[in-house]
Structure formats: C-alpha cells, structure tokens
Amino acid sequence: MANLSARRDDYQKFLNLGVQVLGISISHKFSQKTFANSLNLPYPLLSDYPQGETILAYDVGQLEG
C-alpha cells in the first residue's frame, strides 16, 4: 500500500515525463475501484485475478496465500 501511495504522491512528476502509471494486484476487479478510491489514487489499478500471471511474469509483486 505504501508503494501505491508513493506513486500517487509522485503522479504529476510521472505525467510530466510522459509516463503512464498503472497499479496491478491479484485482487478481483470488483474490489479494485473501491480500494483505489480509498487511497485517492489518480491512476487505474489492474486486476491480475485469479492466477497472477502478469505479476509473476514481470516479477512486480508478491502473490498472497
């Protein structure tokens, strides 16, 4: 969660560089919007549910469980 918040705080810097910020998680897509709203994220969260194949392929996080 700290990483998501840090990207939120730096979001304008990324936009100025022409970088699109995306978040990804193993959570189901129906919970993503509520979670993003709770953190005031200005960028989209993508769901890698149920297997986490993208997360594993890019080694960008940990799968729960």
Q: Given pLDDT bands bounded at 50, 70 and 90, which one contains residue 34?
A: confident
Give the pLDDT score at 64: 64
Q: Are 29 and 60 in contact (CB under 8 A)?
A: no
Assign 23 to helix, strand or coil: strand
Q: Could you tell me the pLDDT band of residue 12, with boundaries at 50, 70 and 90? A: very high
Token couple for 3: 């990483």
Q: What's the pLDDT at 61?
A: 74
Spatial CB neighbours of 42, under 8 Å, sequence gap ≥ 6: 8, 11
Burial class (CB in 10 A: 0-12, 13-18, 19+), 48: buried
